[in-house]
Amino acid sequence: MSEEREYFDFGQRSIEEQQSLLTHTWCDQCQQADLGMVNPQEYQQFGIRFVEGECKVCGEAVFTELSDDEF
C-alpha cells in the first residue's frame, strides 16, 4: 500500500455528494461535528480514500474518511 497520495477530482462527484461530504465533518480542533469544510481535496493514501479540507469555523485541517460504498 502506498504512502503517496493519489489525488482525485472532488469536482467530479455529484453536487449532492459534494454537499454531503462538505457538511458531514468532524473537527478535532473545535471538537464538533458537521461544522463544514472549505477547499476540499480528495485523495487516496494507505488504500483509504479521504476528503481533506479546512474547517469552516477555525480553519484547521479536517478529514473525512470515505467508506467503500461512497467511492
Q: Which residues of 43-69 are buried (b: 16+ CB within 10 A; e: fewer)?
A: ebeeeebbbbbbbbeeeeebebeeeee
Near Zn ion in 34-63, by CB under 5 A? 55, 57-58
Task: Report the C-alpha gap between 64 and 26 in whole angstroms.
Answer: 7
Q: How far is the CB of 8 from Zn ion (least distance, A)?
A: 24
Give the per-residue contact string, 2-41, with Zn ion (x = CB under 5 A; - = no): -------------------------x-xx-----------
Residues near Zn ion (CB under 5 A): 27, 29-30, 55, 57-58
